[in-house]
Amino acid sequence: MVYSDDDDVGGGGVPFVESLPRCHGKNRPGGGHGSRSPLPDLPDASESDEIAIFSENVPTDLAKDDAWEYLDPMLNRFLGFNRTAESIENELRGRAQGLSAMMRYLKDFVCRYEVDGGLLEGKIERLVKIIQTQCVAMIRSNHTHF
């Protein structure tokens, strides 16, 4: 299942996006005004983190018919179904070698090789659910501290 901004993933009858705490002024990480920041920043990825494989350049010499066979094992190493959601959550990293790199890599790879999005759906859905779980946990934690 893919959630939309209007889905009640946190319980309590409040759509997901509306349930995110609005952080203003000194309550917002970084001290800025008027924006939402429901989760703390992910730790920066380093070359030794599993997700850093996606910071490499997309290969340009694959046959389109072989592209999925190249990408699928990469995704399985990081998001594979033999891994627990908790282990994936613990490996999530940010910045240039983290989730940003992964999204850029997937966009470039899928566009270059015209990979059917349906092949990615289960793996990306798993990643989204893990991120949403982090959001819900943070929201619940923030609500107990008010």
pLDDT of 59: 97
Examine the pLDDT at 19 and tell me if it is beyond 60: no
Mean pLDDT (whole number) for 71-99? 88
Give Cβ neighbours of residue 55 (< 8 Å, ≥ 6 apart).
45, 96, 97, 101, 105
Examine the pLDDT at 109 and tell me if it is beyond 90: yes
Give Cβ neighbours of residue 110 (< 8 Å, ≥ 6 apart).
117, 120
Quickly state the pLDDT bin for 113 (edges 50, 70, 90): very high
pLDDT of 141: 65
**pLDDT tens-digit profile of 53-79?**
999 999 999 999 999 999 999 999 988
Quickly state the pLDDT bin for 30 (edges 50, 70, 90): very low
User: Contact at 8 Å (CB) between 16 and 8?
Assistant: yes
DSSP 94: B
Examine the pLDDT at 18 and tell me if it is beyond 60: no
Quickly state the pLDDT bin for 21 (edges 50, 70, 90): very low
Examine the pLDDT at 110 and tell me if it is beyond 90: yes
Residue written as token pair 């033999």: 82
CA–CA distance, 143 with 146 (Å, rounded to integer): 6
Q: Where are the domains of the chain?
A: 42-144
Residue written as token pair 């090789």: 113
Examine the pLDDT at 36 and tell me if it is beyond 50: no
Q: pTM of the full predicted structure? A: 0.66
Count Cβ atoms below 10 Å from residue 110 Cβ, excluding itself.
Answer: 17
- Tell me what the pLDDT averaged over the chain comes to: 75
Residue written as token pair 């509306």: 18
